[in-house]
Structure 1
Amino acid sequence: MITSIFSKSQPINFIIVFFITLLAFVVGRLGLPTEHFTALFILEELGLFCVCYASILLVNFIVSKNSLSRKSNYEILLFSLFLFTLTQTTSNINILFSNFFVLLGLRRVISLRSQIEVNKKLFDASFWFAIAALFYFWAILFFLLILVSLAFYNDIKINHWVIPFIGAATVFIITSGISIMLYDSFFDTFKSLPEISLNFNSYNSAAYIVAITILLSFGIWSSLYYINSIKEKKKAFRVSFKSILVSAIIAGVIVILAPVKDGSEFLFVFAPLTIIITNYIEIIEDKWFREIFLAVLFILPFVLLLL
């Protein structure tokens, strides 16, 4: 049932995903302190929801534009289900915006495949990653994705290795300039600073343990098949698939380093993980196993609501 609906790209898929995302967004706010329902408050919440849903649409664009799947919509379904599984990912405003800018940067990195306007794409990618780091410092680790991708392409042009640093420096200079004008200080506009915490006690609850175990198990299992399938892809597309895997690893490192571990940090993992799992789902030959695989992910959020 689920596989038959999302195995092809069609408008109803986006409607279903919209309501799953909306449900995840609402549930994620039930435990948060609420303000008076003023017009401004409602507009702010609508804006944040739009960022959540726009992130899903952006993942769909990246996948379809770069042929990272077989024209299915599993990636948007999985993203919305992951949001519903860990609803805390919808509650941190800075991470929501940071992840959105990371996706904009990821889009430019993946588009290097065409080898058209490489200088512009490298600048754009580093620019977006640097902006993402303004909202959440450790998002700057995605800058490494640019360098790793250049290495995958065996790019030896010096300017291609220099431009990403220029893009990041541009954001730093502009932000510092604004900070000096507004606060007479270099760093007051920087929202996030490099802090680290290796204390995972906040994950010590039934809901977290079940959610993280399922997502980690499915992710690792799918990654084994994903890695093996890369060599079967067309040569021009292999770097794109490798870049997705690298971005998943970087996102995992961010989760480990996150100074505040409230679940929202897992948002960075969702985009690459959905693409990896989507590729695995598409190669499953037994329809019943594919249905069970998706059914577990579909039922999981509702089970967690009871824990």
Structure 2
Amino acid sequence: MITSFFNKSKPIYFVVVFFIVLLAFVNARLYTVNDALNGSYILKQTLLICVVYACILLLNFITNKNQLTNRNSYEVLLFSLFLLFITQTTNSSNILFSNFFVLLGLRRIVSMRSPRNIKKKLFDAAFWIAIAALFYFWSILFFPIILLSLVLYTDNNIRHWLIPFLGVLTVLVISCSASIVLFDNYFYLINWSPEISYDFSNYNSASYLIAITVLLSFGIWSSVFYLSNIKKQKKAFRVSFKTIILAAIIGFIVVIIAPEKNGSEFLFLFAPLAVIIANYIEIIPDKWFKELFLGVLIVLPFVLLLL
């Protein structure tokens, strides 16, 4: 019954997703709000929730446009549920904006399956990821996906390999120019500090441990079937599916090396993980197991809110 309800993409599902995201936002701020509830604070939080919802709409566009799922609403539902699993992912404004620009970059990378405007796609992908790195340095790790995609497409055009670096250079030049004009400092807007931390003590709580265990176990299990299912896809779409698994790996690496382990770093993992698990839900043959699988993902985050 649950899987049947979300089996097709309809506007009503985005209303459900909106309220799940809103619940995650409110819960994350119940015990962390130190500012007065004035107009400025409300405006800022409204902007941030709009950014999250824009990420969800962008994820839906990427999956539908590139046929990464069978035109259902599983991926947007899962993305919103992941936010509810780890509500701290909505706390960092820098990571929220960075994730949005990473998705813009992934949108252009995945669309490289079509050779049309390939130079523009390469430049745009690098440009958006470089902007994402201005907000959160380690999102620059998504840049190699552009080059790996060229490898997967066996593109030997040397100009295509240079374009992504021009995209990054463009962001650097614009940022330096804006810094000089606005702040009389070359690198004021380029806050690139490659710090790394392996201190996971912040995850030492029941809600974190349960959420991380469920997400990783469901993700790894789904990835096995996702990888085996790539061969069944149309040849033109196979690299797009491989790009998603690469993005999931990069997202996991960001979680591991993030200098500040406050939960917000998991956001980079949510979009590719949602696509991977959505693909697995689509191919589960047993109706009862499909209902159970999705039911656990729906019920558990609401249970964790009570912990």
TM class, shorter-chain normalised?
over 0.9
Structure 1 CA distance, aligned partners of 2:29 and 2:193?
26
Question: 1:230: which partner in 2?
Answer: 230
**Cα distance in 2 between the residues matched to 1:156 and 1:191:** 34
Q: Name the structure 1 match of 2:288.
A: 288
| 1:104-115 alignment, distance < 5 Å | 104-115=104-115
CA distance in structure 1 between the partners assigned to 2:33 and 2:7 by the alignment: 40
Q: 1:192 to 1:38 in 2, by over 3 A?
A: farther
Q: What's the counterpart of residue 91 of structure 2?
A: 91
The equivalent of 1:178 in structure 2 is 178
Q: Which residue of 2 aligns with 1:144?
A: 144
- Per the alignment, residue 117 of structure 2 pairs with 117
* Residue 75 (structure 2) aligns with: 75
**Structure 1 partner of 2:55:** 55
Q: Does 1:193 pair with 2:193?
A: yes
1:131 aligns to what? 131
CA offsets per residue over residues 149-203 of structure 1, 9 Å max, x none? 0000000001110000000010011111111222322222124521110111111
Q: Cα deviation per residue 1:11-65 (whole Å; 9 max; x = unaligned)?
A: 1111111111111111111121332222222111111010011101100000000
Which stretch shows the higher mean deviation, 171-180 or 266-275? Answer: 171-180
- Distance in 2 (CA, whole Å) between partners of 1:27 and 1:99 is 21
Name stretches of at least 5 consecutive residues in structure 1 with no aligned partner: none
SS of residue paired to 2:175: helix
Judge which range, 227-236 or 182-191, deviates more.
Answer: 182-191
State which drifts further: 270-279 or 297-306: 297-306
**Is 1:38 the equivalent of 2:38?**
yes
> For the residues of structure 1 that align with 2:304 and 2:47, how far apart are their CA atoms?
27
Q: Tell me, what secondary structure is at the counterpart of 2:143?
A: helix
Which residue identity does 1:24 align to in structure 2? Answer: A
1:161 aligned onto 2:171: no
**TM-score with structure 1 length normalisation?**
0.98
For the residues of structure 1 that align with 2:281 and 2:191, how far apart are their CA atoms?
39
SS of the residue corresponding to residue 196 of structure 1 reads: coil
1:83, 1:53 → 2: CA distance? Answer: 11
State the AA in 2 paired with 1:75. Answer: E
1:114 CA displacement: 1.0
Question: How many residues matched?
Answer: 307
Q: 8-17 or 208-217, which moves further after superposition?
A: 8-17
TM-score, normalised relative to structure 2? 0.98
In 1, Cα distance between equivalents of 2:53 and 2:33: 23
Answer with 117-126 or 32-41: which moved more.
32-41
Q: Percent identity?
A: 61
Aligned partner of residue 149 in structure 1, secondary structure:
helix
Distance in 1, Cα, partners of 2:132 & 2:58: 15
CA distance in 1, matches of 2:231, 2:171: 37
Partner of residue 244, structure 1: 244
Is 267-276 or 42-51 further displaced after alignment?
42-51
Residue 4 in structure 1 maps to residue 4 in structure 2: yes
CA distance in structure 2 between the aligned counterparts of 1:11 and 1:166, rounded to whole angstroms:
39
Task: Give the Cα–Cα distance (whole angstroms) in 2 for the partners of residues 300 and 265 of structure 1.
Answer: 21
Tell me how far apart the structure 2 counterparts of residues 86 and 148 of structure 1 sit (CA, whole Å): 30
- Partners of 1:12 and 1:3 lie apart in 2 by 15
The Cα offsets for residues 205-258 of structure 1, whole Å up to 9 and x where unpaired, read as 111110000000000000000000001111000000000000100111111110
Amino acid corresponding to residue 288 of structure 1 in structure 2:
W
